[in-house]
Each structure stands twice: as C-alpha cells, then as structure tokens.
Amino acid sequence: MAAQNKLELHLPSRLGAEKAAMDFAAEVARKMNFPPDRVEDLKTAVAEACINAIEHGNKLHATTRVGVTFTVDAGRLEVAVQDQGRGVGKPTPPEIESRIEGKTPARGWGIFLIENLMDEVSFEATADGNVVKMIIYLEEPE
C-alpha cells in the first residue's frame, strides 16, 4: 500500500470559510485525477459538512474552529470535518417529502447531499467534538 499523505486546514466558525476547504478539496481531487463531475460532488459535500460544523456544531462561536483533514491514499481521498461541539453525532436526516411539498423549510439538505455524493460517510461524536468522515474513490469500490 502506498504511503498516506495528510493535509490539515483550520477554519474559523464563520460562514464563508467553507469555501477555502471546498477549493482545497477540489485542487487535491484534480491532482489525483478525479473526473470533473466527481470533483464537483466532493466540493459540494465538503462545503455542506463545513457549514454544518460551523452552524450546528460550533454554533457560529467566533472562538471555535473547524478542522478539515485530507488523507490522500492511492485511489482514495478521505476528508474528515471536525467541529468543537458536544454530543451532536449523526444529525437527523431531513424529511424529504415535507420539504418537496413546501410544508417545512427547504433548508436541511446537507446530510442528504453528503451521503448521496460520497462513497462512504460516517458520523461520530468524540470528546473533542463531532466528526464527519467522507471517502471518495477514484474508481468505483467493488
């Protein structure tokens, strides 16, 4: 197995900061030769995970940070997004039908998008905060 490379970003808990992680993820994926549509999937998932960490985990507190770790391995990219919140773990999935019908606000699609755009996704509440791990493979997993 090829050696892993880890890269880390630390973002302020301010909306708009997710763009740095999104752009960085795109650059890493392009260098790994991901096709353009998968780069776009990754950008969307990373941005959504960061926004969730900023808004829900860190509650927009200016003194907190969002950590984004990129682990590059042969044909595989893992992105872990960690906030400093307590006890959130896996968010409740959105009620799709009520949103489509306009019965509830249209917000809340982030987890749905992340789970449907990435090849593997996990959520964990740790002593240091909440972590969402997203894995995207260069080739379809068998």
Q: Give the pLDDT of the chain (142 residues) as one tens digit per residue.
A: 455 699 999 999 999 999 999 999 999 999 999 999 999 999 999 999 999 999 989 999 989 999 999 999 989 999 999 999 876 555 666 666 766 666 666 556 788 899 999 999 999 988 889 999 999 999 876 6
Q: 131: which residues sit within 8 A by CB, 6+ positions away?
A: 80, 81, 82, 123, 124
In one-letter notation, the amino acid at residue 89 is: G
DSSP 118: S
Domain annotation for the chain: domains and CATH numbers: 5-137 (3.30.565.10)
Q: Tell me what pLDDT residue 74 has.
A: 86
Q: Tell me what pLDDT residue 81 has.
A: 98
Cβ atoms 44, 133 nearer than 8 A: no
Q: What is the pTM of this model?
A: 0.85
Cβ atoms 21, 69 nearer than 8 A: no
